[in-house]
Amino acid sequence: MNIPKKMKAVVLMGPSKVEVQDVETPVPGPQDVLINVQATAVCGSDVSLIAKPWEAQPPYGSFIIGHEYAGIVAAVGSTVDEFQVGDRVAVEASYGCGRCRNCRLGYYTACLNYGNRQRGHRANGFTTNGGFAQYAVNHINTVHKIPDSVEFNEAALITNLGCILYGFQTVGGYVVGDSVAVVGPGPLGLVSVGVARALCAGKIFLVGTRDSRLQMGKAMGADRLININQENAVEVIRRETQGMGADLVIESSGATTGPQMAVEMCKRMGKVLLVGYPEEPAPVNFSMMGMRNVHIFSVRGEGWANCGRGISLLSQGRISLKPLATHSFPLGQIEEAFRTFTERIGGAIKVIVHPNA
């Protein structure tokens, strides 16, 4: 593959200021691959870190954003024989340092050296350059082959699936016949419904406020839609689970009322999984949590190699992320892409950018 010396990339220049620039094409290290990026998705965390820098973020003027992408292997590092030029691949964001206690135990998305490049940590699109660019360098641990049957637009969303699978694994991973309540039909909530269905959960409730999104959840596998403008979600769930509450509640709304509502929906000895997080401190009745012996779990990133598992799900056709990819733009229209995402123009859920279109 003929690799140009210069490429186009979206560089963060200042608060809420991005620019498409010509920059040097990066060179892969011994354990890396160079990816010719075909599709990169806009994520809520992109919006957040553009507005205000996150932990360990590279300086303005040099930082290429974007962490959800897929493409074609264009070159491989000196020790790499796991991949070949031409492989179709999708990526995840986090490469742990490999030397802290958490990484040694396999918790690389909770690397204790987060942002410490000297010690080897990288998080593309967060602490190192990402995928709103024609080329990107990834450590092979963050790269997954995808079959021809999976399109780049869908593959670019793999971290969403990997994150939710990681959440399911965090709470045990075995939900056959269990009742599951998902609160908030955003991208992660919809994927949660799809994963619960794929893993053979019993009754799946989806709680939200907009009927259009709830209907999408039905297509993903929800059994019972609850629009909280019309029904009391806690009461409905309790009534339709023989008074017990749900075995698993996945809070995806990120609302300040979310965690407490999740506890109220939950069965004694049930589990709450947070995948959306309110920005403000949120009050919870911990006495109720204790009386019910409920546990609250969180996820960060797409741990325990679950992106690879997610690609298997896509390959098997057990879940489809295509309905989420509602809009797409060329790299030159990056600002319109972001605006479409943040303002949900035309019912946008996930917006895809094509750097090499």
The CA-based dihedral angle spanning residues 203, 208, 213, 217, taken in that order and rounded to the nearest 10 degrees: -10
Question: Crossing angle, helix 187-198 and helix 211-220, to 10 degrees?
Answer: 30
Q: How far is the CB of 297 from a second copy (least distance, A)?
A: 5
Q: How far is the CB of 8 from a second copy (least distance, A)?
A: 30
Site for a second copy in 77-106 (CB under 8 A): 79, 81-82, 98-99, 101-102, 104-106
* Cα-Cα-Cα-Cα dihedral sign, residues 90, 184, 273, 300: positive
Q: How far is the CB of 31 from a second copy (least distance, A)?
A: 6
Identity of the residue, 38 or 253, whose beta carbon is nearer to a second copy in the bound complex: 253
Under the criterion CB under 8 A, does residue 303 sit at the interface with a second copy? Answer: yes
Identity of the residue, 217 or 276, whose beta carbon is nearer to a second copy in the bound complex: 276
Phi-psi region of 304 (alpha: psi -120 to 50; beta: other; left: phi over 0): left
Contact 229, 208 (CB under 8 A): no
Under the criterion CB under 8 A, does residue 320 sit at the interface with a second copy? Answer: no
Query: Residue 26 to residues 19, 50, 70, 71, 89: CA-CA distances in angstroms?
Result: 18, 22, 16, 15, 18
Instruction: Pick one of 2, 176, 229, 343: the residue that binds a second copy (CB under 8 A).
Output: 176
Q: How far is the CB of 75 from a second copy (least distance, A)?
A: 17
Give the integer Cα–Cα distance in Å for 250 and 291: 20
Going across the sheet that includes 17-24, the strands are 17-24, 6-14, 63-64
Under the criterion CB under 8 A, does residue 239 sit at the interface with a second copy? Answer: no
Give the integer Cα–Cα distance in Å for 192 and 201: 11
Identity of the residue, 252 or 340, whose beta carbon is nearer to a second copy in the bound complex: 252
Give the integer Cα–Cα distance in Å for 55 and 52: 10
For the window 104-143, what string marks contact with a second copy as x by the rule CB under 8 A? xxxxxxxxx-x---xxx-------------------xx--
Instruction: Pick one of 63, 135, 168, 329: the residue that binds a second copy (CB under 8 A).
Output: 168
Question: Crossing angle, helix 306-316 and helix 158-170, to 10 degrees?
Answer: 110
Instruction: Pick one of 289, 321, 351, 353: the residue that binds a second copy (CB under 8 A).
Output: 289
Q: How far is the CB of 17 from a second copy (least distance, A)?
A: 24
